[in-house]
Structure 1
Amino acid sequence: MPTSVAATPAAPSILAREHFAAQFAFETDCWDVHDALTNGPDFVLLDVRSPTMFAAGHIPGAINLPHGKITRTKMEAYPAGTLFITYCAGPHCNGAARGALRLANLDRPVKIMAGGITGWIDEGFDLEKSDVV
């Protein structure tokens, strides 16, 4: 009798390739964001958590814009083709996806940073603190 892992067969390779390749169009990871920030980013990194959480610790170079405050007017400050990367607290939080959806609804290119702050810390990267806004 197969385990619960093997009870459902893996997808055919062609479907698996399509699925996993598509993921890169929707998300990036902490390591790649860190590398890009070190070498000159070609995106805007949005911390979509509350200003209090942002002040307590955020990724250096990130801009705080809670997902509920992402509006067409605020996004007009950026050229139309600007790529946005959203992140939140971590895999237990859906704020990055909420922010990404708001940006997609405004026809803005967007990806989420998988892992959020939790993933960032797990990779050994530093956070910075700021005054509460």
Structure 2
Amino acid sequence: MTNSAAAAHFRAKLSLETDASDVRADQLAGAPFVLVDTRSREAWDQGHAVGAVHLPTREIEARAAAEIPAGTPVVVYCWSPGCNGGDKAALAFALLGYEVRLLIGGFEYWAREGYPVEDAGGPVVRAVDPLVGPVGAPACAC
């Protein structure tokens, strides 16, 4: 027996959210999307996901069309699960007509899961936090 309400909910949720593992796999596979760090310049310089572009939430409306071609899927992130900045950025992109997904966990979980990070000085090597990612394994297989 199928619970249609639950199925609809999770289908919709998965179409609007993604996680660090799936984003990294998509990057490695060359999937066509733009990963957007929506935080301030200071936060970007402190550290960001390798492959991301910097477009602060407050500048999306003015800059997105010139920097991200129409029809390009976008994945946005902010600091962490305790921050709704990514949601605000996703809304801004959606209002402009972009296909957009939120990176759940934000930059915090990208970094804690051991995916590539760089800061204003270059690459930053971080160990996987065993509370959020598999140590010594390529993916969580979830």
TM-score range, shorter chain: 0.7 to 0.9
User: Does residue 100 of structure 1 match 2:118?
Assistant: no
Which digits, 9 at most, give the CA deviation of each residue in 1:39-77, with x for residues without a partner?
213100100000111111100010111101102553233
Percent identity of equivalent pairs:
37
Deviation >6 Å, runs of 4+? none
Q: How far apart, in 1, do the equivalents of 2:50 and 2:100 lie? A: 19
Q: Which has the higher contact order (CA 8 A, sep 6+)?
A: 1
Q: How far apart, in 2, do the equivalents of 1:109 and 1:72 lie? A: 18
Q: How far apart, in 2, do the equivalents of 1:26 and 1:80 lie? A: 18
Gaps of 5+ in 1: 1-11
TM-score by length of 2: 0.78
Check the 8 A contact 1:72/1:106 in 2, yes or no. Answer: no
For the pair shown, the structure with the greater C-alpha radius of gyration is 1
Q: Could you tell me which amino acid in structure 1 is paired with residue 40 of structure 2?
A: S
Gaps of 5+ in 2: 122-142
Which digits, 9 at most, give the CA deviation of each residue in 1:83-110, with x for residues without a partner?
1100011100111111111111111111
Residue equivalent to 1:119: 109
> Structure 2 matches for 1:31-46, cutoff 5 A?
31-46=21-36
Q: Could you tell me which amino acid in structure 2 is paired with residue 46 of structure 1?
A: V
